[in-house]
Amino acid sequence: MSLPKFLTDKNLIPNVTINPALNYLGTESAFDFGAKVMEVEKSGKFPQIYKFHVGDTGPKTPQPIIDVAIKALQDKQTKYGHFAGYPQVRENIAKHWNKTRGINITKDNVLLQPGGKPAIEMSIQALVAPGDKIIVQNPGYPIYDSLANFYNHGNVLNWSARRDEIKNTLEFDVEDLKKLLEENTQVKLLMLNTPQNPTGMVFGKEKLEQIAELVRQYKFFVVFDDIYDQIVFGGDKQQFSFLSIPGMLDYTINLNGFSKNFAMTGWRLGFIIAPAWLIEIFGKFAINKYTAVPRFSQIAAGAVFGDMELDGCKYECISDKVQEIIVKDFVEYEHKGKFVEASLRLLSPYVVPNVAEGAFYLFPSFHKVLNLSYVKNNLAITTDKQLSNWLLTEKGIATLAGSDFGSMGAGYVRFSYAEDRDNHIIPGMKHVLKTVIELIEKSGETSPLTTAEVDSKVDQLVKKYF
C-alpha cells in the first residue's frame, strides 16, 4: 500500500497499516504555506515579508463581542454547552436569517458548529451513499475537494471555470454544470461558495436561480457557503442567498459563521442552516465529534443577533454596536480590493487581475509572467507553485499559488488583501510591481510601466481609493 505523500515527505513511516483513503486527503495550503512564511520571516533575510497569503481578517474582533464573552466567563459560563446550540441562540440566528433572507425558519433549522468546516464533512457523511457523486468548484476552496475525495474517491466531479484565453479571466458557466448533471447519474451534492475563495467572485441572483432550476430537475443538495456574505462590493452583483429562492430551503445546507464578517477567525464559531431532519442528524454527529461549541462562545453568538439569557444571567443585544464597527471594515476591504486590482492592472497584459467583487481575494493571471524567457530559462520557473515559492524566498512576497485551489488555478496567483493597508497592502503592491517589472526587463521585453514610475503611479491610486 502506498503511503500518503504528506507522511513520506517528512519521512514518517507508520508501523501498522493505515486507511488507504488518506492518499485522497488534501490540505488547506494557506496554513502549510503560512508556516513557511514564518520560517522566512524568522530568518531575517528581508526587513519585512509582505503578506498577501493569509485568509485571516485584518481587523480584530469588535470589542462589544469580546465584552460579552468576558462577562460570560465572569459569570462562570464555563460548563458544557448545548450540543446544537442553546435554543435562544438558535432562535436569534433564525430571526436574523428570516429577516435578511426572506425565509421562514425556526431554531430547529439551526445548529452551531466550531468554525465552518464541520458542515462540509457532516453533509457528505449524512447524504452521500455508495455510488453517489459530489460536484466541487475548480478553482475552489481546497477543503471541499479534500473531504469529497477522502470520503468519496472516484466519485468527485469538477465544475471547472472557463478561462477566457484573451482576457485571461475565469468564469463559472451554468451550462457546464448542467452538462455534468446530464452526463452523470446519482449526483447528490454541489459545493457552492460565494463570495468565493480563492477568486473573490460573487454569484449573482440570475446565476443562482439557474442553479436552483437544476436542483429542481435533478434533486441534489447544495452546500451553500456564504461565509463572506456581508463582504460584497458595489455594482450589479450584490450577494444573494440561495435560500431566498422558493423551494431551496428543502435542498440547501447553508454554511455560515462569525469568522470573516465579524473578524472572529480564531474563535472557531460557525453555524448551519438546513432542513430540520438534517439538523437532527448533524446534532448526532456533533455529540460524536466535538460535543458542543463552548458555552461562552454561544452566548456571544446569540448576543450578536439578539438579547440573551442563560442560567439567570442576562446579556443585551450588541447588534447595532457591532454592525457600526464591521461596516467600516467592509468599506476598507472594498477600497483595498479596488486598489490592489488597479495596481496589478498597471502591469497588463503581463498580469491580468479579475474584478474585486467580494470577500478579500483577487485571482490575477500570471500566465504571461510564467512565459517570460528570464523566468523560464534563468530562474527555471515553469509553474505558479514555483513562482509563489520564489516570490517568498527571494523577494519577501507571500502569495498563494493558484493551482493550490485546483487545476483551473494553474497560472494564477491568489492575493489576499485582508492585511493592514499601510504596513502590507500599499508598500507590498509597490514591491510586487517592481519585482514583475524586473522580470519583464530581464527577459528583454518592454514593461508597460518602469520601476521609476511605480511609486508615483501607486501613490495616485492611494489617493483615489483611500
Q: What is the CATH number of the domain that holds 440?
A: 3.90.1150.10
- Lowest-pLDDT range of 18-22, 119-123, 125-129, 461-465: 18-22
Domain boundary among 302, 319, 336: 319
**pLDDT at residue 31 above 80?**
no
Domain count, the chain: 2
* pLDDT band at residue 238 under the 50/70/90 scheme: low
Which DSSP helix (H) or strand (E) runs through 330? helix 319-345
Indicate if 261 and 383 belong to the same structural domain: no
What does pTM read for this prediction? 0.95
Indicate if 352 and 314 belong to the same structural domain: no
Q: pLDDT tens-digit profile of 387-432?
A: 999 999 999 999 999 999 999 999 999 999 999 999 999 999 999 9
Strand 221-225 versus strand 187-193 pairing type: parallel
Q: Any idea what the CATH number is for the domain that residue 130 is in?
A: 3.40.640.10
Indicate if 371 and 258 belong to the same structural domain: no
Question: Residue 368: what pLDDT?
Answer: 97
Question: Residue 159: what pLDDT?
Answer: 98
Question: Residue 32: what pLDDT?
Answer: 80
Question: Residue 166: what pLDDT?
Answer: 74
Indicate if 283 and 328 belong to the same structural domain: no
Cis amide bond preceding 349, omega within 30: yes
Strand 361-362 versus strand 169-171 pairing type: unpaired
Indicate if 98 and 34 belong to the same structural domain: no
For helices 426-442 and 451-465, angle between their N-to-C axes, nearest 10 degrees: 150
Whole-number Cα distances in Å, 312 to 254, 309, 332, 398, 431:
32, 6, 39, 49, 56
**pLDDT at residue 237 above 60?**
no
Indicate if 235 and 377 belong to the same structural domain: no
* pLDDT band at residue 235 under the 50/70/90 scheme: low
Indicate if 273 and 288 belong to the same structural domain: yes
Q: pLDDT tens-digit profile of 315-350?
A: 999 999 999 999 999 999 999 999 999 999 999 999
Domain boundary among 289, 319, 349: 319
Indicate if 54 and 100 belong to the same structural domain: no
Domain housing 166: 63-319
**pLDDT at residue 236 above 60?**
no
- Lowest-pLDDT range of 158-167, 182-191, 250-259: 158-167
**pLDDT at residue 46 above 90?**
yes
Is residue 318 within 8 A of residue 337, CB to CB? The reply is no
Domain boundary among 285, 319, 353: 319
C-alpha cell at 459: 501613490
Indicate if 253 and 357 belong to the same structural domain: no
Question: Residue 241: what pLDDT?
Answer: 96
Question: Residue 377: what pLDDT?
Answer: 98
Indicate if 285 and 304 belong to the same structural domain: yes
**pLDDT averaged over the chain?**
95
Beta-bridge partner residues of 112: 271
Alpha carbons 428 and 339: distance in angstroms, whole number: 12
* pLDDT band at residue 56 under the 50/70/90 scheme: confident
Indicate if 55 and 67 belong to the same structural domain: no
422-450 burial code (b ≥16 CB/10 A, e <16): eebbbebbbbbbbbbbebbeebeeebebe
Indicate if 274 and 369 belong to the same structural domain: no
